C-alpha cells in the first residue's frame, strides 16, 4: 500500500501556489478570494478522479463522495482538511525547494536575507536526517498547514480508485475555509456531510493522533483612561497604557504559553492597541480542564473589580467568549475510532503519538456538532512561519494512514 511520493509532491506544489491566507478583518466567508479559487480547483480535481456528489457551496466548503465498492454495511468515514493558510506570514510569492537527503547541517533558506533553518533552534530537524525535506526561501510560509492534509486525502482517494481490490465503504471528504481565523466549522453542514465519524488531517509531526484539546475562551479587555495635556496632567491624567502594563504584570507569571506545556493552561495577551485615553487588550484563556478554565475567567473578573476600585468605576470592562471545548468528552464514548487510526499507523510501522492538543481544531468543534472527529498528522512542522518544513516521507505516511483507516473501517459493520 505504498503511495508514490512524486504524486504527492506534484499535487502539493500545485496547492501551495494558491495564495489562500485567511483574513480576520473580513467577515465574509471565505474571507479571501484565493480560497474559493482553490475550492473550485479541488472540486474539478475530485470530479476528474471519479468522486461523486462533488459540491462547492457559496461559502467555499467542498464536499465529495467516494462510493463504496463492496462494503455497503461499513460505517461512513470522513476526512477533512482546511484550505486557508495562516495570516501570520506571507503566503506568496512561493518558492519551495526540496533539500535532498538532509545531512543534519544548517539549511540556508535565504542567503541574501541571512535566514537559516538550524537544528540548534529546531532540534526536531535531526529526526529527519537522510530524508528529503521541502522548505521555502524563508520569505513565506510553506502552507503544509493544511495543504499537506488536503494533499494526503486527495492522493489517498486517487490511490483507492486505482486499487479497487481494496474494498471499502462509502467515504466522504471535505475541505473547509477560514480555519486559521477560527471560523471553519461555523458553516459546516454536518447533516449534509452525513458521515458516522471523521478525521481531520491537521496535525504536525509523523505519528500524531490527537483526541483531546484545550477548552478555549477569548477575552477582550477594554481599559478607559483620561487623556490630559501633560502640562496640567498631575492628579488628572489616567494613563490607559500604564494600566494595561499593570494588568499584564498581575497575571500569574508562569502561566503563559512560553512557560507551559502538556496539560498546563495559560493566560495570553496576544494583541494590544490604543493610547493614553483608551487601550484594548485581546487575550486567550486555555485549559484542558473546564473547571480550571472557569477559574481563569473568575480570576480576570476579580482583577477587573480590583482595577475599577483603584482607578474608578468603568475603567475596566471585559467580555469573555468561549471558542471551543475539549473534544475528549465526545470521543471517549467512541474510542474505537481512535483505535482504528492507531492500527492503521502501527500497520505502517508508525508509532502513534497521542498527546493533548495545545490549541483547538475543527475536529473539536465538529465533535460537539455531532461528528466525532480526532486529528491526524500531516507531517509538516513549524507551522505559521518562515521556518516551516515538510519531510516528504511523513507526507507519504499521512496519505497511507488514510488508506489504512479506510481498510480498517471496511471491516466494521454498523
pLDDT at 392: 98
In terms of C-beta distances under 8 Å and separation of at least 24 residues, what long-range contacts does 107-116 make, across chains too? 107/133, 107/135, 107/389, 109/135, 109/136, 109/137, 109/138, 109/386, 109/387, 110/137, 110/138, 110/139, 113/138, 113/139, 115/139, 115/386
| Residue 217 to residues 80, 247, 325, Cα–Cα distance (Å) | 24, 18, 9
Q: How far apart are CA 290 and CA 249, in angstroms?
A: 25
182 Cβ partners below 8 Å, 6+ apart? 323, 360
| Matching residue, cell 457559496 | 58
**Radius of gyration, alpha carbons of the chain:** 23
pLDDT at 248: 97
Nearest CA to 132 out of 108, 106, 100 is that of 100
Q: Which residues are catalytic?
A: 84, 179
pLDDT at 359: 83
- As averages over each run of 10 residues, the pLDDT of the chain (414 residues) reads 93 98 95 98 98 98 97 97 95 96 97 95 97 97 97 98 96 97 94 98 96 95 96 95 98 96 96 97 96 98 98 97 93 97 98 91 92 97 96 98 97 82
| Matching residue, cell 475550492 | 39
pLDDT at 362: 86
pLDDT at 42: 98
**Which domains does the chain carry?**
5-212+326-409 (3.40.630.10), 215-324 (3.30.70.360)
Phi-psi region of 265 (alpha: psi -120 to 50; beta: other; left: phi over 0): beta
pTM for the predicted model, two decimal places: 0.90
Amino acid at each position: 500500500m505504498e503511495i508514490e511520493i512524486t504524486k504527492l509532491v506534484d499535487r502539493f506544489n500545485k496547492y501551495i501556489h494558491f495564495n489562500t491566507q485567511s483574513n480576520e478583518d473580513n467577515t465574509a466567508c471565505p474571507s479571501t478570494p484565493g480560497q474559493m479559487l482553490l475550492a473550485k480547483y479541488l472540486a474539478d480535481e475530485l470530479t476528474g478522479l471519479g468522486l461523486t456528489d462533488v459540491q462547492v457551496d457559496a461559502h467555499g466548503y467542498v464536499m465529495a463522495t467516494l462510493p463504496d465498492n463492496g462494503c455497503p454495511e461499513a460505517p461512513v468515514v470522513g476526512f477533512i482538511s482546511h484550505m486557508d493558510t495562516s495570516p501570520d506570514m506571507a503566503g506568496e510569492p512561493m518558492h519551495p525547494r526540496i533539500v535532498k537527503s538532509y545531512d543534519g547541517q544548517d539549511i540556508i533558506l535565504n542567503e541574501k536575507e541571512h535566514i537559516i533553518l538550524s537544528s540548534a533552534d529546531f532540534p526536531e530537524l535531526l529526526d529527519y536526517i537522510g530524508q528529503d525535506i521541502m522548505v521555502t526561501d524563508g520569505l513565506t510560509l510553506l502552507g503544509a498547514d493544511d495543504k499537506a492534509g488536503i494533499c494526503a486525502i486527495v492522493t489517498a482517494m486517487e490511490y483507492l480508485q486505482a486499487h479497487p481490490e481494496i474494498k471499502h465503504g462509502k467515504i466522504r471528504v471535505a475541505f473547509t475555509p477560514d480555519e486559521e481565523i477560527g471560523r471553519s466549522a461555523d458553516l459546516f453542514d454536518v447533516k449534509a456531510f452525513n458521515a458516522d465519524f471523521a478525521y481531520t488531517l491537521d496535525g504536525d509531526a509523523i505519528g500524531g493522533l490527537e483526541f483531546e484539546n484545550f477548552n478555549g475562551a477569548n477575552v477582550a479587555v477594554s481599559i478607559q483612561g483620561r487623556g490630559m495635556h501633560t502640562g496640567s496632567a498631575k492628579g488628572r491624567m489616567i494613563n490607559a497604557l500604564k494600566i494595561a502594563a499593570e494588568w499584564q504584570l498581575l497575571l500569574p507569571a508562569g502561566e503563559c504559553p512560553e512557560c507551559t506545556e502538556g496539560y498546563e493552561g495559560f493566560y495570553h495577551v496576544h494583541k494590544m492597541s490604543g493610547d493614553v485615553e483608551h487601550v484594548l487588550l485581546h487575550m486567550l484563556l486555555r485549559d484542558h480542564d473546564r473547571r480550571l478554565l472557569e477559574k481563569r475567567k473568575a480570576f480576570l473578573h476579580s482583577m477587573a473589580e480590583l482595577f475599577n476600585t483603584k482607578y474608578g468605576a468603568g475603567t475596566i470592562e471585559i467580555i469573555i467568549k468561549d471558542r471551543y471545548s475539549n473534544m475528549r468528552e465526545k470521543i471517549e464514548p467512541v474510542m474505537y475510532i481512535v483505535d482504528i487510526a492507531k492500527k492503521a499507523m502501527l500497520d505502517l510501522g508508525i508509532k502513534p503519538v497521542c498527546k493533548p492538543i495545545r490549541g483547538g481544531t475543527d475536529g473539536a468543534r465538529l465533535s460537539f456538532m455531532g461528528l466525532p472527529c480526532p486529528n491526524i498528522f500531516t507531517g509538516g512542522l513549524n507551522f505559521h512561519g518562515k521556518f516551516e518544513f515538510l519531510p516528504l516521507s511523513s507526507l507519504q505516511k499521512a496519505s497511507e494512514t488514510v488508506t489504512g483507516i479506510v481498510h480498517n473501517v471496511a471491516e466494521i459493520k454498523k
